[in-house]
A = this chain, B = another copy of it.
Amino acid sequence: MQNQSLPSHPIGVFDSGVGGLTVVRALMDRLPFENIIYFGDTARVPYGVKSVDTIAHFTQEIAQFLQNQQVKMLIIACNTMAAVAADLVRDSANVPVLDVIEAGAKNAVDVSWTGGIGVIGTPATINSNAYARAIHQLNPGYRVYSQACPLFVPLVEEGWLDHPVTKLTAQEYLKPVFVEKIDTLVLGCTHYPLIKPLLLDVVGGRMKLVDSALSIADQAADLLQSSGMANPSHQAPDYRFYVTDVPVKFQSIGERFLGRSLNKIERVNL
């Protein structure tokens, strides 16, 4: 299919749930004139426990839905979907496709000065080994140490962003990371930017943090610029949010992730 995207068309961002809103937030800050459509598959979250075939199928459904909305770029803001199905989406899409894992890996390789990179994420992301693969594709000599942090997502969703429990949990999870020779730590989950101040505090001067949400916003900005697809309009952009189910706390959790009020939420069936 021919690419008939226009610079005024929106950027399409998708995730299995609410986490990808941290990527939307970074895009809003970095690219304040771009229209954005967000898709959260809240009826079928969490993806981490599903089979590879199912995740691939759902991911392609969503990518197709967003392309039907005439997006000019697709951003996979879900680590599980990126790990399992980014190549599939790239093969079938008629617009550029960015994903959080590739963006985070590239940024980490740029930032690291000793070649020792740590990655923290959900068990599903860490078990997929996708960050290590992406980093080794960029530089096979780099050492990658991965650490699953299963409690960070529930802690963020509970809103304990600056709570002694969260700090104690972070100290526990990062203990083995501190032993490794690592100068750069990738936040490999879209929930983690919400506890970045706490993580910075726990990490101290030991290593730099790479926030994949910021990494992908920078990548998107570069690509729009270089391809002449940046929106020339300087009017207030249009933001739309599609979800497959509206959970009780979607609005309140979503606003915490987004850092602003959440309007135009529409429920759709795929």
A157 and B122 CA atoms in complex are apart in Å by: 13
Instruction: Indicate whether A172 reaches chain B with its CB closer than 8 angstroms.
Output: yes
Bound complex: CA A100 to CA B6 (Å): 57
Contact with B along A110-129 (1 / 0, CB 8 A): 00000000000001000100
Q: Pull 21 A–B residue pairs with CB atoms less than 8 Å apart, ordered by A.
A: A45-B49, A49-B245, A49-B247, A51-B245, A123-B248, A150-B154, A150-B157, A150-B158, A151-B151, A151-B154, A151-B155, A151-B158, A151-B165, A153-B154, A154-B154, A164-B168, A165-B165, A165-B168, A165-B169, A165-B172, A168-B168
* Distance between Cα atoms of A165 and B163 in the complex (Å): 11
- How many copies of this chain? 2
From A45, A127, A155, A247, residue with most partner B Cβ within 10 Å = A155
**Complex Cα–Cα for A247 and B51 (A):** 9
- Residues of chain B contacted by A154 (CB below 8 angstroms): 150-151, 153-154
A91 to chain B, nearest CB (A): 27
Chain A 170-194, CB-CB to B under 8 Å as 1, else 0, gives 0010000000000000000000000
Measured CA separation A150–B154 after assembly (Å): 7
A231 to chain B, nearest CB (A): 36
Cβ–Cβ < 8 Å partners of A169 in chain B: 165
A30-B113 Cα distance, complex, nearest whole Å:
61
User: How many Å from the CB of A256 to the closest CB on chain B?
Assistant: 15
Shortest CB–CB separation between residue A189 and chain B, in angstroms?
A: 14
The contact string, 1 if C-beta is below 8 Å from chain B, for chain A 131-169, is: 000000000000000000011011101100001110011
Q: A171 to nearest B CB, angstroms?
A: 9
* C-alpha spacing A43/B127, complex, angstroms: 18
- For window 181-226 of A, CB contacts with B under 8 Å fall at none
**Residue numbers in B under 8 Å from A163 (CB-CB):** 172
A171 and chain B: residue at smallest CB distance: B165
CA distance A79 to B23 in the complex (A): 35
Which 3 pairs from chain A and chain B are nearest by CB? A154-B154, A165-B168, A165-B169
Chain B contacts for A245, CB-based, 8 A: 49, 51
Cα–Cα, bound, A20→B85 (Å): 33
> Does A248 lie within 8 Å of B155, measured CB to CB?
no
In the complex, what distance in Å separates the CA atom of A80 from the CA atom of B16? 22
> Which residues from B are CB-within-8-Å of A172?
163, 165
Q: Point out the residues of chain B lying under 8 angstroms from A123, CB to CB.
A: 248
Q: Residues of B contacting A158 with CB < 8 Å?
A: 150-151
Q: Which of B151, B153, B157, B248 contacts A127 (CB 8 A)?
A: B248
